[in-house]
Amino acid sequence: MTEPASRKSDIQSQWARVRGRLRDECGDAAYRAWLKSMTLYGVDEGRVRIGVPTRFLRDWVSQHYSDRIRALWNDEDDAIAAVEILVTGRTVAQPAEAEPAPLAGDGAEPSAATEEKDISAPLDPRFTFENFVVGKPNELAHAAARRVAEAQVGVRSGGNPQLPFNPLFLYGGVGLGKTHLMHAIAWHIRTRAPHRKVIYLSAEKFMFQFVRAIRFKDTMAFKEQFRSVDVLMIDDVQFIGGRDATQEEFFHTFNALVDQNRQIVISADKSPSDLEGIEERVKSRLGWGLVADIHPTTYELRLGILQAKAETTQLPVPGKVLEFLAHKITSNVRELEGALHRISAHTQLTGGTVTLEGAQEVLHDLLRANDRRVTIDEIQKRVAEHYNIRLADMHSARRARAVARPRQVAMYLCKQLTPRSLPEIGRKFGGRDHTTVMHAVRKIEELKAADTTLAEDIELLRRMLEN
């Protein structure tokens, strides 16, 4: 495909703007570490292709930034539907150089931590147990993390604590609080039992240190760092996958520490058995202790978190706005926080008060990205299950009340939860006319007001669909 020159320069200037906004949003340090090496490969059929030099960067950028890149690009060009991150290679003569620099702590200005040769990454002061809102989806992980932290307190220096479980393996999707819980464990121990040595580091930092140690032929010193540790926490171990030497080293370190009754805490985005590129024996060893998953947030938890965060900001946010956000931003807690920050920044700049309309406007791109997640197919499936009718009846011409009503409920939910138009919805319900959909929406609204069972059913379905 040959693109006209003007289109090409269009794309380049869009790309420059997307990068600029990304840099503003995530800050210079993160930008330099993860994003600077991105090169644009091309855009075709609504797909943006971006190259990065290493597999590790590809995984990291895809996981943490590709949704955002897509949303930013979407502001430039409606037709962009997907962002693909590719490894575009680089000579492997100096593997350490391909590693991204660690984000904080030992960057430009040397911190106390590096001077002490402490390899633990800095802890976020906000990530404490006190600031962690507990709900059904995270109660097991939270309780386990607390037990692990408490077991270290009250143990004499050099003493041997009774470990509740070893290792503790926390897993769950992005932005659900894994890092928060690990930092909370570290804070708890550091403030109550400062003589216990706690190391927290991300798996990529672990790899970075290890690769550097190999390069400087200094793996002994690397191992030595872990010898006297009481609690070792490694975050995001899915990134260790596929790197044989690092994996091997990780495994040895791990085994040695477990044998010495040292507490290990691991996090990942998947359960041990689902981790990719990790050897079977490592996987099975990772699952030996307690495996606690953090489930996607529920509406109640999201609202609880928002209320807690709103209290700590200066800005009064009306309950209605919080409820709206808890309904609409269902992906993860990080996005929820981001939404609150944007609203608060915007309101401070414009000097206004927080209103529902204002919030909707400031967050339109975020809301759009979240809306996309519920599809008409899912709604039909859930509603059919709920009312115990066949999925085929969503499309069929049958008009018996027992199927017609659930079908109307499904149409209503499609209108509420997806950005689809009435004709689009009609088409997905066996080619019905848009007036039929409109009628269904009105009918359900009317019935809901009088029929509390129906209203509850719909609320329940909405919550299930939004999670």
Where along the sequence are the contacts to ligand ADP (CB under 6 A)?
127, 131-133, 138, 172, 174-180, 305, 333-334, 337
Crossing angle of helices 401-417 and 452-466, rounded to 10°: 50
Q: From edge to edge, which strands make up the β-sheet containing 39-44?
A: 39-44, 47-52, 82-87
Closest CA relative to residue 12, chosen from 308, 3, 437, 392: 3
Count Cβ atoms below 10 Å from residue 349 Cβ, excluding itself: 8
Q: Which is nearer to ligand ADP, 66 or 436 (CB)?
A: 66
Q: How far is the CB of 174 from Mg ion (least distance, A)?
A: 7
Closest CA relative to residue 127, chosen from 235, 29, 257: 235
CA distances from 460 to 297, 441, 465 (A): 15, 17, 9
Q: Which is nearer to ligand ADP, 30 or 213 (CB)?
A: 30
By a kind-dependent CB cut-off of 5 to 8 A, residue 180 interacts, out of ligand ADP, Mg ion, none, with ligand ADP
In order, the DSSP letters of 211-239 are HHHHHTT-HHHHHHHHHT-SEEEEE-GGG
Q: Which is nearer to ligand ADP, 41 or 299 (CB)?
A: 299
Part of the chain binding Mg ion (CB under 5 A), chosen from 28-36, 177-185, 278-286, 405-413: 177-185
By a kind-dependent CB cut-off of 5 to 8 A, residue 132 interacts, out of Mg ion, ligand ADP, none, with ligand ADP
Part of the chain binding Mg ion (CB under 5 A), chosen from 73-81, 105-113, 178-186, 372-380: 178-186
Q: How far is the CB of 300 from ligand ADP (least distance, A)?
A: 12
Q: What angle do CA 159, 145, 248 make, to 5 degrees?
A: 75
Q: From edge to edge, which strands make up the β-sheet containing 168-172?
A: 198-202, 231-235, 263-268, 168-172, 290-294
By a kind-dependent CB cut-off of 5 to 8 A, residue 406 interacts, out of ligand ADP, Mg ion, none, with none
Of 14, 179, 380, 408, the one binding Mg ion (CB under 5 A) is: 179
Q: Which is nearer to ligand ADP, 180 or 197 (CB)?
A: 180
**Which tokens hold the place of 102?**
């660690």
Q: What angle do CA 183, 186, 187 make, to 5 degrees?
A: 85
By a kind-dependent CB cut-off of 5 to 8 A, residue 75 interacts, out of Mg ion, ligand ADP, none, with none
Q: How far is the CB of 357 from ligand ADP (least distance, A)?
A: 26
Q: How far is the CB of 90 from ligand ADP (least distance, A)?
A: 28
Q: How far is the CB of 127 from ligand ADP (least distance, A)?
A: 6
Q: How far is the CB of 66 from ligand ADP (least distance, A)?
A: 15
**Which tokens hold the place of 166?**
């070893």
Q: Which is nearer to ligand ADP, 62 or 396 (CB)?
A: 62
Are the CB atoms for 306 and 340 separated by under 8 Å? yes
By a kind-dependent CB cut-off of 5 to 8 A, residue 354 interacts, out of ligand ADP, Mg ion, none, with none
Part of the chain binding Mg ion (CB under 5 A), chosen from 175-183, 210-218, 221-229, 290-298: 175-183
Q: How far is the CB of 333 from ligand ADP (least distance, A)?
A: 3
Q: How far is the CB of 283 from Mg ion (least distance, A)?
A: 20
Q: What angle do CA 266, 268, 272 make, to 5 degrees?
A: 85
Quick check: 138 binds Mg ion (CB under 5 A)? no
Are the CB atoms for 186 and 197 separated by under 8 Å? no
- Phi and psi of 421, rounded to 5°? -80, 165
Quick check: 238 binds Mg ion (CB under 5 A)? no
What residues line the site for Mg ion (CB under 5 A)? 178-179
